[in-house]
Structure 1
Amino acid sequence: MLSKFNMLSELGLLIALVMATSSFASLTVLPTILSIVPRFITKPLPGIVQNRRL
């Protein structure tokens, strides 16, 4: 690679691998998890009237 210092070049490869993995996960896995909305998030709070017309 670009560096003769082996540990530095391996660290660069690991950083690139982690960045690619996190990008892939944030674009595919995270939206899938968030699309499964748990009931406690959509459940209205007690004492708050929803869609009240005046």
Structure 2
Amino acid sequence: MTPELNFKSLGAKTPYIFEYNSQLLEAFPNPNPNLDPLITLECKEFTSLCPITSQPDFGV
């Protein structure tokens, strides 16, 4: 038997927007158009969505 959970916020559906406004992005000319750029991103922290409640979580 599973206990009944009466949470106010946990488990509530959270709307997520996966679109972005391209007008917010800034662009600049490539100073070396003959070279293929290699960009590396290194992050020591991350965010994820809980698979049970769909709410955000943070980790280091």
Shared fold by TM > 0.5? Answer: no
By percentage of residues, which structure has more strand?
2
By percentage of residues, which structure has more helix?
1
Larger radius of gyration: 1
TM-score under structure 2 normalisation? 0.30
TM-score under structure 1 normalisation? 0.32
Structure of higher RCO (CA pairs closer than 8 Å, 6+ residues apart):
2
